[in-house]
Structure 1
Amino acid sequence: MKGNEAIAEAALRAGCECFFGYPITPQTELLQYMAKKLLKSGGVFIQAESEVGAINMAYGAASCGKRVMTSSSGPGISLKQEGISYLAGAELPCVIVNIMRGGPGLGNINAAQSDYLQATKGGGHGDYKVIVLAPSSVQEAVDLTIKAFDLADKYRNPVMILGDGMLGQMMEVVEFDENYERPEVQKPWAVTGERNRPKRVTNSLYIVPEELEKHNFKLREKYKKIEENEVMVEEYMTDDAEAVFVSFGMCARIVKSAVNKLRQSGEKVGLIRPITLYPFPTKCIEKYANSNNIKFFIDVEMNLGQMLEDVKLSVAGKKDVHFYGRTGGMIPTIAEIVGYYFSLKK
């Protein structure tokens, strides 16, 4: 399946009941697939008048306790940021897909990783976090989409699937778990319109400063639990490594091929691939930073170093951290990465 369509099919199998979106390349096939399939399964599909409309429709459906998803690409996700902040503030579960393109501004429609900071640092206003999952294959996109719905319900929090144009447009063989069962999640907060009970309100407005501070402290405790329990990371050929690459998403697949090529040349290198960008695998990188075997780290991204700060904070000055990146929709090659590694060894 094409990546965009595989994500949509995974969402349907995860019990997605409502989808709201707006066309933008390179994710429009996801919206098209949902338009074809969701109504047939009894769900709600609306092509909104804008990305702003789509995210606020998602807020409304999430308030009713429905499993809801929206998707877009860079500029569209920028328009959704206010609504994402509202979702996080009101503690509403929602899955948001960002198939990244080149930027800033309108940029272009080529694959890039230019939205890392927007996704992981909270592109909207206020003290909030969005769980961010970064698949590196179409199969992993399927698996993480299903997991995203479960995590959103578990923590009452928005979850973002952060892919790129390569992932969205490429075709790979996928398998779906036919035994998946949607977890039973009670939603006593959902606005369901019943009369014979106290009223329910989903809200992110706290006029009294003391009340808003208390709410923010409550959110912080939730984020601590997420950081303790939900980190996902791949460690590849790191046991005897003397240098470690750090990369995420589709770019990490290219880096993995570079690691294999370097290994064939006798170089002891490995790869750390964050699967959760938030929560970031700080302890994993810290473990290797404390190792006497490791001489340096190389962060490789399809941007100008947006993850670099998180890598450096995890390394905490114990080892040198280098960066190699391509931007504007350009994709690093295996030869470039190998060449950069050898340039560091001179």
Structure 2
Amino acid sequence: MARELWKGNNAIAEAAVRAGLQAYFGYPITPQTELLEYLSARMPELGRAFVQAESELGAINMVYGAACTGARVMTSSSSPGISLMMEGISYIAGTEVPIVLVDVMRGGPGLGNIAPAQSDYNQIVHGGGHGDYNAIVLAPASIQESVDLTYEAFDLAEKYRAITVILIDGSIGQMMEPAEMPPMRPLKTEYPDWAVRGMVEHPGERRVLSSIYLDPPDEEAANLRMLRRWQQVEANEVRFKGYYLEDARFVVVGFGSAGRVALSAVRAARAEGIPVGLLRPITLKPFPVKALDELAQRVEGILVVEMNSGQMLEDVRRVVGGRVPVEFYGRLGGIIPMPDEVLEEIRRLSREPLTQDGHPRDRWLARMPRSN
């Protein structure tokens, strides 16, 4: 098919439709509202279910109920709205039903602003809701990648009976780029044997789905079952992109828009003769541990670039384990780092004596301007 110009939010919505989305439930919040608006017309046009809920709490619980039928369901929101959904997300994880969740991040904490940020890393990647569970987290850096990963997200969710999250920032949701849409899939006609389909389809058969395990050994057994399934995800679904890593002495690590900005800076640095490469995680969970571990064995320094105060930084430091100095550069509150800012950090990394004294966040914060 030909490439067309798409806005990020609309492209994700159309990709979900083409992946066989059967029901969408959501609530408007900037900067993801266009996704909901697009589906408000597109889903009824195709005879599929669309509901604008009364709140994010209502939306996630509608998703929960629909997911129990085995249908392909999705919701989307932005940072404070995702926070409100966390109890329902934990219930969905505990019931082991697949859903797709789109989080278009904005500045925070609190109500924050509507500018792009990556401040949801911790609440999405490291849980958010209570209990022991894991969600697959995909972090595209372009409209085409957003389309491709959304199209695949439903398959991943169903394969592992897991929550699959498309995690982007507001700039990707709002920007426009050429993208090629995948083909339209037929809607599901067969459903898994765990799904609740009603007495019409299964007369005399009673199926119950729940996240309640009042007997602790039963709860432990459920947690172990989910954990073993997550081991399969870690073994089979790690994704990342590497750029100029073959001869790199220094490596930048960044995801989403920050990774995209970092790539421009890396190319500029290499034009200056600095042997630097980029590791861009696509799966933030499972994290590309093996790839980063191998780099940590041979490079001289690592720079983590994020649109937050260093949330992925802690995962990088955990993998590196002190074998090589790690530095950090972040912009906060909805400010996108510019390539020349990252380039200057790469220059500093390559020319100044590297240290492992103290925390890289402290060194970064000392260089940032002070405010009242």
TM range (shorter): over 0.9
1:78 and 1:184 mapped to 2: Cα distance?
A: 34
How far apart, CA to CA, are the structure 2 residues paired with 1:168 and 1:342? 31
Counterpart of 1:23 (choices 20, 28, 35) is 28
Q: Which residue of 1 aligns with 2:114?
A: 109
Shift of 1:338: 1.1
C-alpha distance in 1 between matches for 2:29 and 2:289: 34
Distance change (3 Å), C-alpha of 1:150 and 1:108: same
Structure 2 residue aligned with 1:201: 208
Q: Is the 8 A contact 2:281 2:287 kept in 1?
A: yes
1:62 to 48, 59, 67: 67
Q: CA deviation at 1:201?
A: 1.0
Which residue of structure 1 aligns with residue 294 of structure 2?
287
Q: Which runs of 5+ in 1 are unaligned?
A: none
Distance in 2, Cα, partners of 1:104 & 1:226: 31
RMSD across aligned positions (CA): 1.3
2:31 partner SS: coil
Report the counterpart of residue 180 of structure 2 in structure 1.
Answer: 175
Instruction: Spell out the pairing of 1:17-166 with structure 2 (5 A cutoff).
Output: 17-166=22-171
Greater mean deviation of Cα atoms: 192-201 or 326-335:
192-201
Match of 1:263 in 2: 270
The Cα of 1:65 is off from its aligned counterpart by 1.0
1:236 aligns with 2:236: no
SS at match of 1:38: helix
> 2:94 touches 2:210 (CA, 8 Å); kept in 1?
yes
CA contact (8 A) 2:18 2:184 kept: no
The structure 1 residue matched to 2:320, chosen from 315, 320, 343, is 315
Q: 1:44 to 1:180 in 2, by over 3 A?
A: closer
Deviation at 1:102, TM superposition (A): 0.2
SS in 1 for 2:217: helix
**What is the one-letter code of the residue matched to 1:214?**
A
TM superposition shift of 1:130: 0.8
Letter in 1 for 2:53: A
Runs of 4+ displaced beyond 4 Å: 179-186
CA distance in 1: counterparts of 2:287 and 2:188, whole angstroms: 25
8 Å CA contact 1:296, 1:321 repeated in 2: yes
Verify the 8 A CA contact 1:153 1:185 in the aligned structure 2.
no
1:277 maps to a residue whose letter is: L
| Aligned counterpart, 1:340 | 345
Give the corresponding residue for 2:368.
Answer: none
The one-letter amino acid of 2:30's match is T
How many Å separate the matches in 2 of 1:236 and 1:213? 42
Contact in 2 for aligned 1:150/1:183 (Cα 8 Å)? no
TM-score, length-scaled by structure 1: 0.97
Secondary structure in structure 2 of the residue aligned to 1:46: strand
Q: Is the 8 A contact 2:71 2:188 kept in 1?
A: no
Q: Which residue of 2 aligns with 1:224?
A: 231
Q: Is the 8 A contact 1:128 1:219 kept in 2?
A: yes
Residue 21 of structure 1 contacts residue 54 of structure 1 at CA under 8 Å; is this kept in 2? yes
| Uncovered stretches (5+) of structure 2, i.e. residues with no partner | 1-5, 353-372
Amino acid at match of 1:204: S
Matched position secondary structure for 1:102: coil
> Percent identity between the aligned chains?
53
CA deviation digits over 1:154-188, x for unaligned, max 9?
11111110001100000000101237677987411
Q: Which of 246, 249, 253 lines up with 1:246 in the alignment?
A: 253
Query: Kindly tell me: are residues 237 and 197 of structure 1, through their superposed partners in 2, closer, same or farther at Cα, counting changes over 3 Å?
Result: farther
State the Cα deviation string for residues 98-122 of structure 1 (Å, max 9, x = none): 0000000000000000000011110
